[in-house]
Chain A
Amino acid sequence: MKYAFTAKGESWDSEIDPRLGRTEFILIYDDKKNELSAYSNSEITQQAHGAGPLTVQKIIDLNPDILITGNGPGKNAAEVMSTSEIKIITGAGDMKIKEALEAYKSDKITG
């Protein structure tokens, strides 16, 4: 299973970035390889408009099964998201990445 997180930093101890479109980083955790990789989103946060759809496109390209975030996508971003099979889990806005993954696994946060 491949998980994507919107994050304020690059490690397990970083906080979830509640914003999807203007998230600082996208983290990908592949539990088969037990590997966490970080992707900076700074180029997109510098865009005046359309950050949501661009970030979602970037996430889709990274090909995760599940996205764990804070608020969820806005309207345009949701449209782009609906072209993929990625499951969106919201409500992790106050958590660290490792806590968010645990919360998802124990069903404390859902779609």
Chain B
Amino acid sequence: MGSFSYLGKSDLVIADCDVDAADLHMLLGPDYQRSEDYYSGELAILDQDKCINCGACLSVCQFDGIQSENGTFRIEAMNCEGCGYCQRVCPTNAIQMETQKVGEWYTSSSKVGSTMVHAKLGVGAENSGRLVAQVKNEARRHAKKEGKEIILIDGSPGIGCAVNSALSGADYVVFVTEPSVSGIHDLKRVTELVKGFSIRSGCIINKCDLNSQMLDELITFMADAGIEHIASIPYDETFTAAMLEGKTLVEYDKGPASQVLIKSWEKIKQFAETEGCLK
């Protein structure tokens, strides 16, 4: 993703939607031009003056979010899921639900000259479809304003809410997997999801020399599922070396893995254009 952002230079807008584990900023040096608070979920707040210590809240909480000490009660913020059950049963309205600031999202200029929209969540805060949609909407607004044709979105792994939100509206999906049991399993799951969305897809096989039997299985599955095989990259320690210097692979050196990525980027653009999604 970092290398593709680097190769695309200022022709694109970048959206880092893997918000639980945002990492593109390490490679792309954003300048955090604009930042906005992100609010999501609620936390129970107990007003001790109104509390009559009846314990109704404690008896309904499923998350150990209420602690009792010597007959008095308090909210354990780390455990509170924000469901609001305690507020509902409290006879004296001593509990209020407050919306929580769980992170920030940013609009930046990256070191390669493109606009980058990204976010950072606080400890324990979870990514959500809404935050991903917000990051993508902002990226779309910038793409329109700047006349950019491509928005490159870094999605998160899995098939959860955030992944759904990252995929919807996309013209082309690039999977990255490796020839292992879990790699194939996860690719199958996400393929089902993408099929439902009717989006065309291609796949890059990382560490392709890990297991030749798994590799065969993977390639057969991709062919059957209509996933384009974009590239195979053998295990290469240059990735780590580049990361340690805070560089994308293609700017770090011109070695074999770099060459594969350069070709992959051309292929991805070509595949996406064939579909007629770039106007």
Docked Cα-Cα span, A18 to B133, in Å, equals 12
A91 interface hit (Cβ, 8 Å): yes
Docked Cα-Cα span, A94 to B167, in Å, equals 16
Contact string, A35-55, partner B, CB cutoff 8 A, digits 1/0?
Answer: 000000000011111111000
A90 interface hit (Cβ, 8 Å): yes
* Chain A binder among B2-10, B195-203, B211-219: B195-203
Contact A74 B169 (CB under 8 A): no
Contact string, B113-132, partner A, CB cutoff 8 A, digits 1/0?
Answer: 00000000000000011110
A21 interface hit (Cβ, 8 Å): yes
Docked Cα-Cα span, A51 to B130, in Å, equals 9
A9 interface hit (Cβ, 8 Å): no
Q: Could you say which residues of chain B place their CB within 8 Å of the CB of A105?
A: none
Q: How many B residues have CB within 8 A of the partner chain?
A: 24
The B187-236 residues at the A interface (CB cut-off 8 A) are: 192-193, 196-199
Which of B40, B198, B277 is the most central at the interface, judged by chain A CB atoms within 10 Å of its CB? B198
Q: How many A residues have CB within 8 A of the partner chain?
A: 25
Given A19-B168, A52-B164, check contact A74 B197 (CB 8 Å): yes
User: Chain A nearest CB: distance from B41 CB in Å?
Assistant: 7
Docked Cα-Cα span, A17 to B170, in Å, equals 11
Docked Cα-Cα span, A94 to B169, in Å, equals 10
Contact B168 A47 (CB under 8 A): no
B243 interface hit (Cβ, 8 Å): no
Q: Could you say which residues of chain A place their CB within 8 Å of the CB of B168?
A: 18-22, 70-71, 74
Contact B130 A47 (CB under 8 A): yes
Q: Could you say which residues of chain B place their CB within 8 Å of the CB of A71?
A: 167-170, 197-199
Contact A48 B198 (CB under 8 A): no
User: Chain A nearest CB: distance from B169 CB in Å?
Assistant: 4
Contact B198 A91 (CB under 8 A): yes
Docked Cα-Cα span, A18 to B165, in Å, equals 11
Give the contacting residue for A48; candidates B129, B164, B171, B199; CB below 8 A: B129
Q: Could you say which residues of chain A place their CB within 8 Å of the CB of B1?
A: none
Given contacts A49-B129, A50-B161, 18 further A-B contacts (CB under 8 A): A19-B165, A21-B164, A21-B165, A22-B130, A48-B161, A51-B129, A51-B165, A72-B196, A72-B197, A74-B167, A74-B197, A75-B159, A75-B196, A78-B196, A90-B198, A93-B169, A94-B277, A94-B279
Which A positions have Cβ atoms within 8 angstroms of B?
A: 17-22, 45-52, 70-75, 78, 90-91, 93-94
Which B positions have Cβ atoms within 8 angstroms of A?
A: 40-41, 128-131, 133, 159, 161, 164-165, 167-171, 192-193, 196-199, 277, 279
